[in-house]
Chains A and B, each alone.
Chain A
Amino acid sequence: MRTENQKAWFFVLPVLALVAFNALVPMMTVVNYSVQETFGNNQFFWEGLGWFEQILRSDRFQAALGRQFLFTFLILLIEVPLGIIVALSMPRKGFWVPVCLVLMALPMLIPWNVVGSMWNIFTLPKIGLMGYFLNDVLGINYDMTQQPLSAWITVIVMDVWHWTSLVVLLCYAGLVSIPDAYYQAAKIDGASPWSVFRYIQLPKMKTVLTIAVLLRFMDSFNIYTEPFVLTGGGPGNSTTLLSIDLVKIALGQFDLGPAAAMSLIYFAITLLVSWVFYTLMTKDDAQ
């Protein structure tokens, strides 16, 4: 029989302590709030699962959740294929490689709130460069502060601008790791460009693509700063995504119980969808 050395656990302890301190304990206070009601004075009353029920039944939450799913769906639908196309068209060798890589990395280096401000100034009708150009030069009626559709388009375009590079860089890393012999063999086998993509490039990119999709899902599902700075959730509630709504409830209305319950539901959904994605995308490898 094999005896196993359990000493390794001791080495993990400091990390566990740290994670407990900065994640588990705060998380538990949220759990604590989610099942209680308070009227101030640090007095709490047991509420059970009441807040959860209230949140799940509320039209406001359902609407925000719907907007959130629509937003994330559109983001993945645009950024993943676009990222793959851009990565495929980038040069593999030569002078332009570092130039392209730096240009690609630039948007990601800009802080979230700066991105929001930039796009706000850029797209404001009358004074923003793009806003002015669309309205006064092209004659398109565009106002992201007044029209829900314009606001949505602006938020989506901003996220595509900010984060497509992540998909590009990950896919590019996958592409350059393919040995030349694969392309040469495909040439000799008479494979079409589509076959090369379908049977060589896509399978070799799969691992990084899984990571890219997961990261883009989590980031876009939890997005807060950029749309908050750009539209503040408006006009009306049209771009109020889950996180923006959550902050309104927690810090605007100071309804700690419902906010805590909503946080937990939010967290559970993110976790569940990430797990589903991961399982689906790595299913083939297990066989």
Chain B
Amino acid sequence: MAQIKLSNLRHSYMPAPKGPEDYALKEIDVTWRDGGAYALLGPSGCGKSTLLNIISGLLTPSEGRILFDDQDVTALPPDQRNIAQVFQFPVIYDTMTVGENLAFPLKNRGVDAATIKRRVDEIAEMLDVTDMLNTRASGLSPDNKQKISMGRGLVRDDVNAVMFDEPLTVIDPHLKWKLRSKLKELHQRVKATMIYVTHDQTEALTFADEVVVMQEGEVVQIGTPVDLFERPQHTFVGHFIGSPGMNVLPCEAKGDRAIFEGHEVLLEGTTNGEGGRTDLGIRPEYISFGETGIPAHVTKVSDVGRHFVVSAMVGNTAVKAVAEHNAPDPGSHVYLNFKAEQSRVYRDGWIATEERAQ
């Protein structure tokens, strides 16, 4: 187990990268504490798998260093880094039994038979696969196969980190939930640093203590699930996390107010910086309906189960709001109220309002 530090990491798949657009990863600087549960969240192609492969040693970064507890491992091959990785598709050794599969990483490292047996039994018990130990692994269902892949990662008690590369992709929806809670439980029991890569916000937010949101090879925000939801640092985070995502409305910024479609909106704090494109960001959850406020015309109401998502037009801009109950009818005219503490201005995508003093 170890603290993982990525220092000025950059990676390009091209031999001679010229501009920043040639980099799959641009400038990553992160420190992950020992024993934490982290998620790398981002759309497909944002560089999260590249980052994962760099940490596990399957790829060598073009620039920068990787430190496990202050030991530089940048040049070490995967088997010397003492990490474990679970892949998108379950990897199992077809000709071996479940037990042999679990024992394989230990056997390769020359661990004695008694220790192997003890560790395999322990892990099998944790994963609820004790009764399958002597069956051939090739006949298992995908979720059990994925459990075995995880088990092979966890069986070594000295692993620095366990990494998961979208491990639930091929699992049936009703089993996803079960495996996810199993993972969470495992994390509490083995206390290894775990890094979980996914493009699914639910998976990331339920698994991780801290989520790293990535976009086009850059880390956009690192924070707890609550941080990401309550105070997105970038319009991308606001939009990517939450359903529906944050409203991003073109506006003008003026001190602690934003002018949006001719209406003044009170912000969380004073805006900073100058120039660039300014947008008002507010989550649909923080827009309410009232007797006075910004006039809007309701175009559509969707019932998503827990609440209603109301689409409305303010001038020429579409705004989404969430109503718990009593949603207005489509076609009606309403007044919207934006919650000041949750209204922020973003300049060129990045947050540009000062945090309100608590």
Residues of A within 8 A of B (CB): 179, 181-182, 184-185, 187-192, 195, 199-200, 203-204, 284, 287
Contact = CB atoms under 8 A, between A and B. Distances in A.
10 cross-chain pairs, A with B, having the tightest CB-CB distances, nearest first:
A190-B108, A181-B87, A185-B91, A190-B79, A189-B105, A199-B93, A187-B78, A203-B94, A188-B78, A203-B95
B93 A184 contact: no
B108 A184 contact: no
Contact of B104 (A187, A189, A203): A189
B58 interface: yes
Given A181-B87, A181-B89, A184-B78, A190 B109 contact: yes
A190 B105 contact: yes
B91 A181 contact: yes
B149 interface: yes
Contact of B136 (A184, A190, A287): A287
B17 interface: no
Contacts of A188: 56, 78-79, 83-85, 105, 153
Contacts of B83: 188
A104 B96 CA distance: 33
Given A184-B58, A188-B83, A179 B108 contact: no
A157 B94 CA distance: 36
B108 A192 contact: yes
Contacts of A284: 95
Contacts of A184: 53, 56, 58, 78, 85, 87
Given A181-B91, A200-B93, A203-B95, A187 B58 contact: yes
A17 B333 CA distance: 77
A230 B108 CA distance: 51
Interface residues of B, number: 25
Given A187-B79, A188-B83, A182 B91 contact: yes
B62 to A, nearest CB: 20
Interface string B158-181: 000000000000000000000000
Interface in B66-83: 77-79, 83
B96 A199 contact: yes
B116 to A, nearest CB: 13
B98 to A, nearest CB: 14
Interface residues of A, dominant DSSP:
helix
A274 to B, nearest CB: 24
B87 A185 contact: yes
B78 A191 contact: no
B152 interface: yes
Contact of A181 (B88, B104, B108): B88
Contact of B95 (A179, A190, A191, A199): A199
Contacts of B78: 184, 187-188
A185 B89 CA distance: 11
A181 B169 CA distance: 14
Contacts of A190: 79, 105, 108-109
Contacts of B58: 184, 187
Most buried by A among B56, B77, B85: B85
Contacts of B94: 203-204
6 contacts: A181-B87, A184-B85, A185-B87, A188-B56, A188-B85, A199-B96
B106 to A, nearest CB: 9
Given A188-B83, A195-B108, 11 more contacts: A182-B91, A184-B85, A185-B91, A185-B152, A188-B56, A188-B79, A188-B105, A190-B108, A190-B109, A199-B96, A203-B93
Nearest to A191: B108
Contacts of B152: 185, 189
B262 to A, nearest CB: 55
A184 B94 CA distance: 16
A18 B79 CA distance: 60
A246 B96 CA distance: 47
A191 B104 contact: yes
A58 to B, nearest CB: 45
Contacts of B136: 287
A210 B84 CA distance: 34
Contacts of A187: 58, 77-79
Most buried by B among A181, A182, A192, A287: A181
A171 B91 CA distance: 21
A203 B93 CA distance: 9
Contacts of B87: 181, 184-185
B79 A185 contact: no
A189 B108 contact: yes
A204 B105 CA distance: 20
A184 B109 CA distance: 17
A185 B148 CA distance: 12
A179 B89 contact: yes
A19 to B, nearest CB: 36
Contacts of B85: 184-185, 188
Most buried by B among A179, A189, A192, A195: A189
A149 B121 CA distance: 59
Nearest to A195: B108
Contacts of B95: 199, 203, 284
Contacts of A191: 104, 108
A182 B85 CA distance: 11
B122 to A, nearest CB: 18
A92 to B, nearest CB: 16
Contacts of A192: 108
A272 B229 CA distance: 70
Interface string B22-62: 00000000000000000000000000000001001010000
A95 to B, nearest CB: 16
A287 B93 CA distance: 16
Nearest to A181: B87
A144 B62 CA distance: 60
B112 to A, nearest CB: 16
